[in-house]
Chain A
Amino acid sequence: NAGVTQTPKFRVLKTGQSMTLLCAQDMNHEYMYWYRQDPGMGLRLIHYSVGEGTTAKGEVPDGYNVSRLKKQNFLLGLESAAPSQTSVYFCASSYALESYEQYFGPGTRLTVT
């Protein structure tokens, strides 16, 4: 099992450009999540999904969109990147119950200039 994988690993964008981050998991997990990690702020939830075709907002959703067309994939989109979106982005997944642990991907380091 590869677990949770993320592509790309690194990316540099200019302000106003768009991009999509891809998260894939091979553990048949129902729940998937996108977090961002910033110095002094910890990890914060951007959006999450409780199943194929469903998404929900997390703590810091503004400026991001997500889609869950397939159970194993969760996409995070930035339509018009801003310097404030410079961060490390982590995807995670878990089984459908709150009692189960979350498994994290290796992260994507995004810089917006």
Chain B
Amino acid sequence: KQEVTQIPAALSVPEGENLVLNCSFTDSAIYNLQWFRQDPGKGLTSLLLIQSSQREQTSGRLNASLDKSSGRSTLYIAASQPGDSATYLCAVRRGGSRLTFGEGTQLTVNP
């Protein structure tokens, strides 16, 4: 059974700091890995999708990497801003169209 773990569970940083969020998964036979952002009381917004054949994806200040063999992904946020405060979720996709989610990292960026 696929398990997804995100560390740390919560993170508080000052504005402007670069930071890394971690995601690990137990079964490396995945199609892809997706990073989401969730604001309080809101739905999930897709940030980045990395296919199993890719090593990284970039979007603006966000960079996600994937090391399938070791079962790890990282989300790097450069020059963090208060507006980045949210819960960040990673999810891996195997066969059967199913996403398996981690429990998320709650990020607070302090002005």
Contact = CB atoms under 8 A, between A and B. Distances in A.
Given A98-B95, A102-B46, A104-B44, A42 B34 contact: no
- By DSSP majority rule, is chain A's interface helix, strand, loop, or mixed? strand
Contacts of A48: 97-98
Contacts, number: 59
Interface residues of B, number: 25
Interface residues of A, number: 27
A4 B71 CA distance: 31
B65 interface: no
A101 B64 CA distance: 15
Interface of A: 4, 31, 33, 40-45, 48, 50, 56, 58-59, 90, 92, 94, 98-99, 101-107, 109
Interface of B: 4, 31-32, 34, 36, 41-46, 49, 51, 89, 91, 93, 95-99, 101-104
Given A58-B98, A107-B43, 12 more contacts: A4-B43, A33-B97, A42-B4, A42-B103, A59-B98, A90-B43, A94-B97, A98-B31, A98-B97, A102-B99, A104-B36, A109-B41
